[in-house]
Amino acid sequence: MRETVVDLQTKDGLMNTFVFHPDGPGPFPVVIFYMDSVGVREELCDMCRRIATVGYYVIMPNLYYRLARSVDLDADRLHDPAYAESLAWMWKLNRSLSNTMVEQDTQAVFGYLDTDKAARKGKLGVVGYCMSGRFVFRVAGAFPDRVASSASVYGARLITDAPDSAHLLADKIKGEMYFACAEHDSYAPPETLRELQGVLDKAKINSRIEIYPEAEHGFAFPKRRLFHKTSTERHWERLFDMFRRTLAA
Helix (H) or strand (E) holding 196: helix 190-203
Amino acid at the residue 150: S
Assess contact for 183 and 154: CB atoms under 8 A.
no
Tell me the CATH number at 40. 3.40.50.1820
Give the range of the structural domain holding residue 185, as residue numbers without chain letter: 2-246
Query: Could you give the number of structural domains in the chain?
Result: 1
What is residue 31's three-state secondary structure?
A: strand
pTM attached to this predicted model: 0.96
Q: Is the previous residue joined to 27 through a cis bond, with omega within 30 degrees of 0?
A: yes
- pLDDT per residue as tens, the chain (249 positions): 999 999 999 999 999 999 999 998 899 999 999 999 999 999 999 999 999 999 999 999 999 999 999 998 988 888 899 999 999 999 999 999 999 999 999 999 999 999 999 999 999 999 999 999 999 999 999 999 999 999 999 999 999 999 999 999 999 999 999 999 999 999 999 999 999 999 999 999 999 999 999 999 999 998 888 899 999 999 999 999 999 999 986
